[in-house]
Chain A
């Protein structure tokens, strides 16, 4: 398939980089200021030179000579939307999806905004289009959370819970293991590149909440969820003494996101058994699905990162119907 990749952050560049390994061709790649677009005519399998464009970007130069909007109008089968997640109106990501669907193209999202904040509208646009929307990469990075729910059928999944933010999990597991304070471990995580310079959405629970909202949207029959529907608490400034008291009792604290059987979306620090399934350490993520006929299913792995998330994007591309 021919892919146009919007967003040249960790995920977008990894998709451009790995697409060839999956027999796909990248025909456009854009960041917020410029784009590189293949000049081949329709039906031409000739793609862009992604490596050269990314090399230019690393050197501080534009990706290419085109305007970012040219990528949206390029020749492609699938739009990969990997621009940064935005809340509220979820723009500009939502507009990109809208345009691709108008053109009857498929869309694969790594951007959580449109699926978390405007799910109903997105589904309506999809219904009016010959294109299909998929968004595995928005929840749990490389872990196949949404496709597993799809395979099991959302009607036969009672509840979903798990650790969905690697940064928060790194901070909590390191605080517990080393007896260090919150600020200290956060600074360390930033040095290691585990936490971003502005880690707000990771530590205040927003990122995990967006993922749970997306899961809730997939599970729900009627109701539509947005971030405002989630009850969210973060781990900011959690004292080391709290982890100490938990450990004394054979437990530990993890930032757990859940979609309950009653359809509530909750994210917050929770006590879990210290050596239990949910107490993954470091940046690992885990998701537990309560299935109707098959008990509990645990899936864990890397929940973030460029190649990891790109793997989920490319898996989605592989699930799309031929155009």
Chain B
């Protein structure tokens, strides 16, 4: 059983590494490098160019055009009805934007799977991740204006890179923290109290930390919507649109979190010893490893 689990884990790591492989030229033999790049490219192509992603992109393109057109209209005529329709479009845009890859869904999902958490915690982390995502964008745009006198600058991109480094370190730290707790739990508790040794008794601030690690890197679309409104002199309307967009993103994150959480609950409720073993022993390890892997990959590519 353990060998089978180890084999699956190794396979998973191989696929993950192949998909994101970006080896330095000197570190691989040309043939090996080519093989890894080809595998990575094939996996990447398969995931990027499929009907779902293409349709999602086209839908966002239409929403983007529509929202820009209506913002310009709002500049001309300050109509509450127009503002309401804009808020609705921004909300829908936020939903579809966060459905696509990114925005911390894999981090949240890993955390949910590896932790014995209540539904409230799961909802909390999803909502706050979306809120931080929008807040960080608004703070950076506002801060850039205060410091440089304009709403965007090339230097803000460098700032984003530093924030990504910070977020990656935070994700690695969360993963390591989970692993350390598991190891300490194994050494300090006997095998019968293994369930208690799993991260059930984590400090309440932990979900906030996970949400912060996701949201600290601003969503570029949020920044762009805000900048567009600000350049047209629509300050409070821009802030409202960002909030509406963030609520939309929050809906998507909550939906994904609920799906993962309910699936886990459904599996956990099955009174099978093997399921209990997987949930209490394997999933926490996998979740911790996954977070360390995601964080390390991001950090490696940034440094």
Q: Do A and B bind each other?
A: no
Residues of B within 8 A of A (CB): none
